Chains A and B, each alone.
Chain A
Amino acid sequence: MEESNSPTPDARGAAQAADLLVTVAATLNERLAFTAEELARSQALLREASSELMTAFRGAADRLVAAQKDETASAPRNVEYEVVLDHLYRAVQHLQSHDLVNQLIDAQKLRVDKMREKLGEAISLSKPPVNDPAQAEQWIQRSRAMLDCIVAGIQQIDDDARHTKSDKKHAGSVDLF
């Protein structure tokens, strides 16, 4: 008896679902590429601003430390010195935030890149034609492989997020053992 090659309704449905999955993965990958660009642009702006602030800070800090080294025991410390030091101490706190935000953006960029890599991998799984398009099971297997790849990417992102978590509530806290 001759075998029919025309797809069953099940196979047609599975093929449509597989196509939809490819479209979703490709669209998501495009959006993530846009996000990666925006993150890189934000980071470049922040780096530039941080660099300018650091130059200004360094100039003031160096002069202050040099002035302190020149002090003699008999010369009372200038009141202005304390005021400037207080301002610089406040700057220290905010400059650290710039630095920490930069690190957070780095971590986000890494996550976006990893997810894009996984989505690209998933999309590449859809490239080779299925052996027998009339078999629903083959489309389902391909979709499952793509989904497994995407889920692995999401899990990796979750693991990385746990490792780089910083908690604003505890910022500045001290524990002495």
Chain B
Amino acid sequence: MKTILAVDDSATMREMVAFVLESAGYRVIEAEDGAQGLDRATTTSCDLVITDQNMPNMDGLTLVRSLRELRDYKNVPILLLTTESSDAMKAQGRAAGATGWLVKPFDPATLLEVVQKVLR
């Protein structure tokens, strides 16, 4: 079973993401900000990370950069799931090493399609 780390400071968003992914057979672990996400990622081996951008303590882009510095996460797909939709932000995400950018609110079917695609 693939393990996915969902990072978001909104408990509702984490719950929505977790439900959709668990209903499709994935195991989901959650973190409420980038710092906690980084901690979870180092203690549990994750196959995919889905993170929000604007969060306290550590934002999503910083989390992406920090994860890419870790040997185990060099090639693990990382998706940004955020309300931010500007091209400038997406360019920053790409430069940081993110695999993709999804804008909230997400469509469950689309999220599952993207997850399946990046995990292939």
Contact = CB atoms under 8 A, between A and B. Distances in A.
Interface stretch (A18-26, A36-44, A90-98, A128-136): A90-98
Interface in B90-120: 90, 93-94, 98-110, 114, 117-118
Interface stretch (B10-18, B34-42, B68-76): B10-18
Contacts of A61: 19, 23
A175 B100 contact: yes
Contacts of A172: 102-107, 110
Which label, helix, strand, loop or mixed, suits the secondary structure of the A interface?
helix
A176 B100 contact: yes
Nearest to A163: B54
A143 to B, nearest CB: 38
A71 to B, nearest CB: 10
Contacts of B54: 164
A157 interface: no
Nearest to A61: B19
Nearest to A172: B107
B117 A92 contact: no
Q: Which of B10, B23, B105, B118 has the most CB of A within 10 A?
A: B105
B45 interface: no
B44 interface: no
Nearest to A104: B83
Interface residues of B, number: 34
Nearest to A96: B105
Contact of A93 (B13, B25, B90, B105): B105
Contact of B104 (A54, A64, A171, A175): A171
B12 A166 contact: no
A174 B13 CA distance: 17
Contacts of B13: 96, 99
A54 B12 contact: yes
Contact of A96 (B25, B86, B104, B117): B104
A175 B106 contact: no
B20 A89 contact: yes
Nearest to A94: B105
Contact of B12 (A96, A171, A173, A176): A96
A177 B94 CA distance: 7
A48 B9 CA distance: 19
14 contacts: A54-B12, A58-B15, A96-B106, A97-B105, A98-B12, A100-B104, A166-B83, A166-B104, A169-B85, A173-B103, A174-B101, A174-B110, A175-B90, A175-B100
